[in-house]
Amino acid sequence: MAASSNKPIQYEDRYCLFLDILGFKEVVEQSAQPKTTALMGSKRIHPGGIYFSLKQIARTLNYRASLASVTGRSKRSSRVMTQFSDSVVVSYRAGEEGGLATMLYDVLHLQLALVQRGLLIRGAITRGLLHHDSDFVFGPALNEAVELEKVAMYPRVIVDRDLLTAAGISTAQIVKSGESALRTTASLVAQDLDGLFYVDYFAVRPEDFSDEWSALCEYLIGLREVIKGLAAKRQPSLRMKHSWLRQKFNQIAEPLEKSKFTSLGTYRVPADEEDHILNIVPFR
Q: Please tell me whether residues 107 and 242 are part of one structural domain.
A: no
Q: Please tell me whether residues 193 and 228 are part of one structural domain.
A: no
- At 151-195, the pLDDT tens digits run 999 999 999 889 999 888 999 999 887 777 778 899 999 999 999
Residue 245's pLDDT is 97
Residue 60's pLDDT is 64
* Amino acid, res. 234: R
- Which phi-psi region, left, alpha or beta, contains residue 63 (left: φ > 0; alpha: ψ -120 to 50)? alpha
Q: Please tell me whether residues 54 and 145 are part of one structural domain.
A: yes
Residue 180's pLDDT is 74
Residue 61's pLDDT is 65
Q: Please tell me whether residues 151 and 218 are part of one structural domain.
A: no
Looking up residue 188, the CATH number of its domain turns out to be 3.30.70.1230
- Domain limits for position 170: 12-201
Q: State the average pLDDT over residues 16-35.
A: 77
Between CA 80 and CA 110 the distance in angstroms is 16
In a domain, 226, yes or no: yes
In a domain, 3, yes or no: no
Residue 70's pLDDT is 42
Residue 86's φ and ψ, nearest 5 degrees, are -95, 10
In a domain, 207, yes or no: no
Q: Please tell me whether residues 184 and 223 are part of one structural domain.
A: no
Q: Whose CA is closest to 25, among 107, 108, 114, 119? A: 119
Coil, helix or strand at residue 85: coil
In a domain, 7, yes or no: no
Q: Please tell me whether residues 166 and 45 are part of one structural domain.
A: yes
Residue 52's pLDDT is 67
- At 45-103, the pLDDT tens digits run 566 666 666 776 766 666 554 444 444 455 567 888 898 878 889 998 888 777 788 88
39 vs 180, residue with greater confidence: 180
Do 277 and 264 contact (CB within 8 A), yes or no?
A: yes
The residues pairing with 21 across neighbouring beta strands, listed in sequence order, are 121
- At 195-250, the pLDDT tens digits run 999 999 999 999 999 999 999 999 999 999 999 988 888 888 889 999 999 999 99
Q: Please tell me whether residues 77 and 101 are part of one structural domain.
A: yes
Examine the fold and report which residue of 201, 233, 251 is the final residue of a domain before the chain moves on. 201
* CA atoms within 13 A of residue 149's CA, in its CB half-sphere: 21
pTM of the shown model: 0.83
Q: Please tell me whether residues 109 and 246 are part of one structural domain.
A: no
Residue 192's pLDDT is 95
- DSSP E strand stretches across 145-192: 157-159, 189-191
In a domain, 282, yes or no: no
Residue 167's φ and ψ, nearest 5 degrees, are -85, 5
Question: 250 vs 15, 34, 207, 253, CA distance in Å?
Answer: 32, 38, 21, 5
Q: E strand or H helix at 215, and its extent?
A: helix 213-229
Please tell me what DSSP assigns to residue 92. Answer: E
In a domain, 283, yes or no: no
Total domains, the chain: 2
* Contacts made by residues 185-191, CB under 8 angstroms, sequence distance 24+: 185/100, 185/101, 185/104, 188/101, 188/104, 188/105, 188/108, 189/104, 189/159, 189/164
Q: Please tell me whether residues 219 and 183 are part of one structural domain.
A: no
In a domain, 284, yes or no: no
Residues 6+ apart with CB under 8 A from 101: 167, 185, 188
Between CA 71 and CA 64 the distance in angstroms is 18
First to last CA, the chain: 51
- At 106-148, the pLDDT tens digits run 899 989 988 988 889 999 999 999 999 988 999 999 999 999 9
